[in-house]
Amino acid sequence: MNDELLKQGRESYSWARHNMPAVLLAESAVKKKKRLPFKGLLLAASLHVSKETAVLLCALKNLGLSIKLAAANPLSSQSDIVAYLNSEGIEVNAKREESISEYNAALRHLARSEPDLIVDDGGQLHVEYWKSKVDSCFGGTDETTSGTHRLRALDARGELKYPVIVVNEAKTKYLFDNRYGTGQSSIDGVLRATDALLAGKVVVVAGYGWVGKGVAMRARGFGSRVIVTEVSPLRATEAYLDGYDVMPMQRASSLGDIFLTCTGQTDAISKEHFLKMKNGAVVGNCGHFDTEINVRQLVALSSSIELVRANLERYNIGKSKAIYLLCQGRVVNLVAGEGHPPEIMQFSFANQLLCLDYLVSNRSEIARGKIKLLSVPEQIDDLVSEFALRCFRLDIDKLSAKQKKYGWSFIR
Amino acid sequence: MNDELLKQGRESYSWARHNMPAVLLAESAVKKKKRLPFKGLLLAASLHVSKETAVLLCALKNLGLSIKLAAANPLSSQSDIVAYLNSEGIEVNAKREESISEYNAALRHLARSEPDLIVDDGGQLHVEYWKSKVDSCFGGTDETTSGTHRLRALDARGELKYPVIVVNEAKTKYLFDNRYGTGQSSIDGVLRATDALLAGKVVVVAGYGWVGKGVAMRARGFGSRVIVTEVSPLRATEAYLDGYDVMPMQRASSLGDIFLTCTGQTDAISKEHFLKMKNGAVVGNCGHFDTEINVRQLVALSSSIELVRANLERYNIGKSKAIYLLCQGRVVNLVAGEGHPPEIMQFSFANQLLCLDYLVSNRSEIARGKIKLLSVPEQIDDLVSEFALRCFRLDIDKLSAKQKKYGWSFIR
Amino acid sequence: MNDELLKQGRESYSWARHNMPAVLLAESAVKKKKRLPFKGLLLAASLHVSKETAVLLCALKNLGLSIKLAAANPLSSQSDIVAYLNSEGIEVNAKREESISEYNAALRHLARSEPDLIVDDGGQLHVEYWKSKVDSCFGGTDETTSGTHRLRALDARGELKYPVIVVNEAKTKYLFDNRYGTGQSSIDGVLRATDALLAGKVVVVAGYGWVGKGVAMRARGFGSRVIVTEVSPLRATEAYLDGYDVMPMQRASSLGDIFLTCTGQTDAISKEHFLKMKNGAVVGNCGHFDTEINVRQLVALSSSIELVRANLERYNIGKSKAIYLLCQGRVVNLVAGEGHPPEIMQFSFANQLLCLDYLVSNRSEIARGKIKLLSVPEQIDDLVSEFALRCFRLDIDKLSAKQKKYGWSFIR
Amino acid sequence: MNDELLKQGRESYSWARHNMPAVLLAESAVKKKKRLPFKGLLLAASLHVSKETAVLLCALKNLGLSIKLAAANPLSSQSDIVAYLNSEGIEVNAKREESISEYNAALRHLARSEPDLIVDDGGQLHVEYWKSKVDSCFGGTDETTSGTHRLRALDARGELKYPVIVVNEAKTKYLFDNRYGTGQSSIDGVLRATDALLAGKVVVVAGYGWVGKGVAMRARGFGSRVIVTEVSPLRATEAYLDGYDVMPMQRASSLGDIFLTCTGQTDAISKEHFLKMKNGAVVGNCGHFDTEINVRQLVALSSSIELVRANLERYNIGKSKAIYLLCQGRVVNLVAGEGHPPEIMQFSFANQLLCLDYLVSNRSEIARGKIKLLSVPEQIDDLVSEFALRCFRLDIDKLSAKQKKYGWSFIR
């Protein structure tokens, strides 16, 4: 069984690696400057234990890092990847379907292992490290909007002690990853969990940030009618002009066939909405944390709960109504699907790798700086853009000398 | 293990049944006329052994039929459904991943079991029955374009001895099932097998019949650029006006990232095309039979073959090129995915059920007829349309008396 | 002024001719058999007096026909084209914005001029000819669904005395012309008349035949949310699965921003709907006849009517509500826009030309036949398909010998 | 004639006003603070002389401003609007189809008239004012990306003497106006000028900024196949992931049927591209200035030039090739069409009005500031967002108290 898992993990890793040349380009770019720039350093990483993560971590290991990994979500770890990473000498503190306490214990363990660097997806590991009062870390990164919120809160209290690069705000991250990656993989997750026909269905997308835009676009691409709910007037107007119905969740509740939360918020769907939903409504979450759907309130409303198929539970409310919950409210694309396709993930992870190199290379300078939450340096963002052209084999125009001067010419 | 399978099969069946009210409406409509209209009759059915098929067969069993089932494809049978159907007293002659000889033997066994009725998907069982020289059957149906071709060939030679209703030509079948069902589930199958990002990819769709239209539409809906290849000037022009690139397969071969055959033909992709493909091209089939991609020629070209993940094989050609084949060239949506979503399948199967009732109820009249290949009676097609409105809870307008007379008014 | 008009007409004709190579291919194909096949014959034609029609008529004149033309719609005639056709020796009985009685008189005049052949768009000329009791005509054609309805009514009473080819039922007509031609040009007409932003608007499309499909597709393509109303369960289901909202017109009335009728029926929008519409609703017709919107009832409801801009009238209802009517309820794409783009129109007109040749070439045979309403002969439809490939410079695959035999191979 | 023009101008103005409630909301908001806040001040405005501009200027006049207007483009002025504005006491220095020297003279005249405020669209009036050495102006605004470039050049040389608010960078401007406004109206302009069928055509969009995104989206929405050219790796990748073909203009030149420039640059299409284009290619510009297509080089290549229809010229190159140029290379949506629909334009103009109020209200403070190029104040952007909700009658969610605190909760 373990041999089988390991073999499967190796295949899975190889397939992802084949589809993530940008990570390898980043690894090469760093190696060109110095063969083992990370030698002697320990990285604590809280990431989704997926084939794509394995590609990043193996590239970092090749550059000399020691690595300890915990899951970024208690339900999303792939057993075969756990096996493979262990065989590669990376310490994995995660397993398929762990309990919340196991998940938290793993984060605590990592925080206390005195890491030099922290890579996080959601900010939970940064928060655990802060709670642990350890003082070993000199720099970190975070992958998501959700994590950025948490880090900003810490920073505002003056309690963020080391610089963290907010990878989510790289253009080559949020423009690609959230729309195309989460968009496709969330719908993919819904299909795997439900086998539902999307054509004709009313899909309610809560939140029209980059993730919501991607999910709405792909739901429409499969023939669904999309309703968007928002709290921002600007984004609501954008959704309207993009041709979607826009209304408050309270009104959408009675119209939707499938609900997908993309808010980065808590309680995007709660009791008052469950009460108005149609019999047979399907509810799922595409955001990082499982707080977007108030599952506790759904449980309280239900007389019984049954597992219908993997990742699909039926909550029976009263005599004639059932609501179907996807993945217990955890992020649909990673729990029911495989997360972002590797071809998208490669750019976020190329950013991650180059940012770690930047933190190490500029350690003393950065340490002196007062600003703790850093943007991805523009040259890294630009380099990853160039990688994207190479990965997708795109050939584009260059500005001519005349064009470079244009704009100035008018005032001469 | 068997208990687990049976439980899973029952859940799977329940979920499909929940999503196929049209089959239950058809069952009720028949039952209203007579409680057990099929009593004493034996049905031989060659269908994909899926949760949706289970819903049809259980409804038929409830109407009194005895049933023997074989697979319509050697790779597409679901083990849990086999277990469930067996438990329901339906004889299943199929298993997950059977060999070609097992598959053929099962068809032969059914043909020789002296069935009264034959339900087929692809026409292979009708052909086997014809070869077997048995003379028990008084009527049948077939589900697909591919089957219709075979039956037409038999009929042209005067060797079709019993009436067969060509369900594929019902408007409520081909307008819904092929476009929305195969379209969605084929792309779903590609995602499950490859986890590939579709955005930006060049997807080559061979054939722009109803299946090709559906696959092209959904590939575009996920951000792919689509090239259509065709042999019909009319359909080629339609694809062009729908905004797709149109060109011969020979030219498309060097441009495509993913190739999907939807032709109902043989050799839509063959040696000359493999030779021109890019390194990393992915090739799959959405048509009924595995003849659309000439796998034998691909094997001959390759120095080695590796399984990359479930349903994805890598064919290594020369030193620097690999072609990835989906599902061994068998129908992608059923082998890598779950086939048409139940909500679509319900209309084809409502047609099937009502057509069997029609054959039994009008047995003597039909027998006297000279025409052996019958269309779905218009009243059945209309009834299934009405079911569709009910299933999707659609409310529509009715012609007023004035409108009914309109058109005639001009010549008075 | 007249010189200016003539010059403009010639330019307009040239631009259309440049974009209608299929009509020239048809002319050549006929000329190859005989230089002046139509010599000595008189054609009465009721067509939209547009640049595209000029291309057809000049091609027919080149083949020897004498031609008298009347408008197919009192509002759609282009003055410059009238001038140009007159200069080419074609008798035009039409002008920009003629009254209903002028329009009818022109049709009567044509009917009584003892034509040998009749080409019609909407069937009104055929009906006038039937009323006139003249007996000169030996064959005709008609272009539209609306015309087909009228001819069928005549035929059912046994009063259609000469064969008429129903061009609308050619695949190369209805598959292209209605969806892509009417779709684009109707939306174009709405934009020219209103300068409205379509993004976000609710567009109600009445009828989901080929025209409705085209209009819905293009409205969505400009960012509108589309509601479809239908009377056919089948087409309603198709619209639903294509991702449109489907509901009765009564309900849609209070939701729509823009209403477009595509039904071929009378009273698709009438009093009960006007009463429920929002202040500011815009109402237009994309069907052939101006019966789809009950304008008389709208007038009766209104306290005053003002012209807002060309082709846009404001109907004031009560104190706080206005409804905007496009083109007085006449066909939007021809009155506010330029009708189908020439590149689409060329296929209908190539069919027209080849059908007239067919009627003349097979005159005696057809006369003996009992069936009066004829389909476009398959070889003509196929030839026009081939023209389409040439016009759009499309290169496609051909069936191999092996593929031609496929399907039969299974029963050997 | 003049009476007719004036009447038409008044109607046109009324129709625009009806569709621009946001400008009226802005006027009210300002008036609520002070009845005539602009009394005694002179505004020099260089704007497209369109019905929408009339709505802005009349609102400003109602607030007490004296106004002198010049065109922002020599070809885009509407004669009826000139007549109407004159009748309202606004001095208009523009006419339909003015020469370049007339256009420049008008700008010079305005610059020298010692304005207190300057509103510009493209930055040319700001540049003229700078050249004129007058010193009366204490604040201004500019509407476009092109203008921002020019102002930045001036500012970099330390020669921008008064604060200018860059309206283009308001979210409620660039997110709405460029994509939905320019997108729709540019395609509308192409249709009016050419009557071309868009379905199936290859449309080459140069530049994938907000304008290019809008034009590409709408061309696709009408069935075109779109090729994007870019100089930015990031935007090129975005276009690719949005499903467009991406390549250098040199390669696109031989593939395109219609070319539309959206770069804000010079020479996006020049000699080397004309040489590779197909016979019949159509070329047009959607950017502010007429430098994007190098028309001089096209003239030099051509043996003759003919006007085909309004706004469409045929350039004959050698014996067998013609290239069609739209609107002499000037901005297609304003010259061949009516510019942005009023419903979109209202938000830019609400921003303009509120920014002028801001400049006047905060005159002394701003004057002391060192930064001369100002962003639209966030509170104005937010207010316009709120107007958008009201104009489109959108109802949205509000954050609950619990949600407002979320994000902070994790670190407690």
Given a contact cutoff of 8 angstroms between Cβ atoms, the answer to whether B195 and A20 are in contact is: no
The CA distance from D185 to A23, in Å, is 42
Closest CA to A210 of A245, A249, A182: A182
Using only the alpha carbons of chain D, give its radius of gyration: 22
Average pLDDT over residues C273-297: 96
Q: What is the pLDDT of residues B87-121, one digit of tens each?
A: 999 999 999 889 999 999 999 999 999 999 999 99
Element (H, E) at D29: helix D21-33
Note whether D254 and D278 are within 8 A (CB): yes
- Number of helices followed by number of strands (H, E) in chain D: 19, 15
Distances (CA, A) of C320 to C201, C280, C324, D21: 21, 10, 13, 16
Run of H or E including B104? helix B100-112
**Best residue of D5, D192, D195 to probe chain C, by most C CBs closer than 10 Å:** D195
Q: Please, which residues have CB within 8 angstroms of residue B59's CB and are 6 or more apart in sequence?
A: B23, B24, B26, B27, B353
Closest CA to B263 of B213, B225, B227: B213
| Nearest residue in C to D219, CA atom | C221
CA atoms within 13 A on the CB side of A15: 26
Q: Quick check: B245 and D224 CB within 8 A?
A: no
Instruction: Give CA–CA dist B7/B17, Å, rounded.
Output: 15
Residue D32: per-residue pLDDT: 96
Residue to mutate among D144, D184, D210, D234, with most A CBs inside 10 A, is D234
Chain position carrying tokens 């909301």: D25
Give φ, ψ of C117 to 5 degrees. -135, 150
Closest by Cβ to D400, choosing from A150, A234, A267 = A267
Separation CA C359–CA C115 (nearest Å): 14
The answer to whether A392 and D247 have CB atoms below 8 angstroms apart is no
Evaluate whether A391 touches A21 at the Cβ level (below 8 Å): yes
Tokens found for residue D330: 């000037």
Average pLDDT, chain C: 95
Euclidean distance between CA atoms C190 and C221, whole angstroms: 14
Pick from A181, A189, A170: nearest CA to A19:
A181
Taking CA atoms, D195 is separated from B365, C88, C188, C338, in Å, by: 58, 24, 9, 7
Residue A162 in tokens: 């080391």
Query: For position B367, what pLDDT does the model report?
Result: 82
CA D215 from centre of chain: 14
Longest dimension (CA), chain A: 79
Mean pLDDT by 10 residues, chain A (412 residues): 88 95 98 95 97 97 98 91 96 92 96 97 94 94 88 90 93 93 98 97 97 98 98 97 98 98 95 97 95 97 95 95 97 94 97 97 88 94 97 96 80 56
Helices (H), A19-161: 21-33, 51-62, 79-87, 100-112, 124-132, 145-156
Q: Which residues of D touch B199 (CB under 8 A)?
A: 240-243
Q: What are phi and psi of D245, to 5 degrees?
A: -75, 140
E-strand ranges in D214-289 read 225-229, 245-246, 258-261, 281-285
Strand order of the sheet with strand A282-285? A245-246, A225-229, A202-206, A258-261, A282-285, A321-326, A312-317, A304-309
pLDDT at position D31 over 90: yes
Asked if A17 and A349 touch (Cβ cutoff 8 Å), the reply is no
Q: Residues D378-393: pLDDT tens digits?
A: 999 999 999 999 999 9
Instruction: Quote the pLDDT of residue C368.
Output: 84
By the CB < 8 Å criterion, does C305 face chain D? no
Residue A312 tokens read as: 């699909």
Q: Token digits for A370?
A: 């007062």
Q: Please write the tens of the pLDDT for every residue from D334-377.
A: 999 999 999 999 999 999 999 999 999 999 998 888 889 999 99
Query: Residue D357 and residue B29: Cα distance in Å, rounded?
Result: 72
Compute the distance between CA of residue D278 and CA of residue A290 in angstroms, rounded to an integer: 56
| Cβ-proximal residues to C158 (8 Å cutoff; 6+ apart), any chain | none
Amino acid at B149: H
Cα dihedral across residues C254, C257, C258, C263: positive or negative: negative
Interface test with A, best of B12, B197, B220, B324 (most A CBs within 10 A): B197
CA distance A195 to B13: 12
Yes or no: say if C145 and C118 are a contact pair by the CB < 8 Å rule.
no
Contact in structure between C292 and C268 (CB atoms under 8 Å): yes
Q: How far apart are CA C91 and CA C82, in angstroms?
A: 9
Taking the alpha carbons at both ends of chain A, their separation in whole angstroms is 76
Tens digit of each residue's pLDDT (9 = 90 or more) over B233-285: 999 999 999 999 999 999 999 999 999 999 999 999 999 999 999 999 999 99
Contact between chains at B200 and D243 (C-beta distance less than 8 A): yes
Question: C-alpha dihedral over B179, B181, B187, B190, to 10 degrees?
Answer: -130
More confident residue, D248 or A406: D248
Cα-only R_g, chain C: 22
pLDDT for the residue numbered C407 = 66
In this complex, which chains have at least 3 CB pairs below 8 Å with chain B? A, C, D
The candidate with the shortest Cα–Cα distance to A122, out of A48, A181, A189, is A48
Rounded Cα distance between C96 and C107, Å, is 16
**Nearest alpha-carbon partner for C323 in C345, C308, C337:** C308
**Amino acid code (one letter) for C29:** A
**Residue C130 reports pLDDT greater than 90:** yes
Q: Does C297 touch chain D (CB under 8 A)?
A: no
Residue D412 has pLDDT above 60, yes or no: no
Rounded (5°) CA angle B292-B294-B298? 145
The answer, for B210 touching chain C at a CB cutoff of 8 Å, is: no
Q: What is the mean pLDDT of residues C327-345?
A: 95
Residues A71/A98, Cβ–Cβ less than 8 Å: yes
Residues of D in contact with B242 (CB under 8 A): 199, 223
Reported ipTM exceeds the 0.90 cut = yes
pLDDT tens digits, one per residue of C2-48: 789 999 999 999 999 999 999 999 999 999 999 999 999 999 999 99
Q: Is C238 on the interface with A (CB under 8 A)?
A: no
How distant is the Cα of B218 from the closest Cα of chain D, in angstroms?
Answer: 13
Calpha distance C204→C293 (Å, rounded): 13
> Where does the pLDDT of residue C411 fall: very low under 50, low under 70, confident under 90, or very high at 90 and above?
low
Task: Closest CB to C220: pick one of A224, A243, A245.
Answer: A243
Residue range D225-236: average pLDDT? Answer: 97
Kindly indicate the confidence band of residue B144, based on its pLDDT and cuts at 50, 70 and 90: confident
Alpha carbon of A67: minimum distance to chain B alpha carbons (Å): 27
Count of A-D CB contacts under 8 Å? 156
Q: What angle do CA A376, A382, A388 make, to 5 degrees?
A: 110
Q: How far is CA D304 from CA A21, A288, D293, D301, in A?
A: 52, 63, 18, 9
List the structure tokens of B321: 């090129």
D180: closest chain C residue by CA? C199
Partner residue facing A153 (CB), from D154, D291, D408: D408
Alpha helices in B200-270 (DSSP H): 210-221, 233-241, 249-252
User: Scanning the structure block, which residue is given the tokens 């099937």?
Assistant: B352
Task: Give the span between the Cα atoms of D19 and D11, in whole angstroms.
Answer: 13
What string of H, E and C letters represents the secondary structure of chain C? CHHHHHHHHHHHHHHHHHCCHHHHHHHHHHHHHCCCCCCCCEEEEEECCCHHHHHHHHHHHHCCCEEEEEECCCCCCCHHHHHHHHHCCCEEECCCCCCHHHHHHHHHHHHHCCCCEEEECCCHHHHHHHHHCCCCCCEEEECCHHHHHHHHHHHHCCCCCCCEEEHHHCHHHHHHHHHHHHHHHHHHHHHHHHCCCCCCCEEEEECCCHHHHHHHHHHHHCCCEEEEECCCHHHHHHHHHCCCEECCHHHHCCCCCEEEECCCCCCCECHHHHHHCCCCCEEEECCCCCCCECHHHHHHHCCEEEEEECCEEEEEECCCEEEEEEHHHCEHHHHCCCCCCHHHHHHHHHHHHHHHHHHHHCHHHHHHCCCCEEECCHHHHHHHHHHHHHHCCCCCCCCCHHHHHCCCHHHC
Q: Determine contact, residues D121/D102, Cβ cutoff 8 Å.
A: no
Query: What is d(CA B363, CA C4) in angstroms, rounded to the nearest whole number?
Result: 75
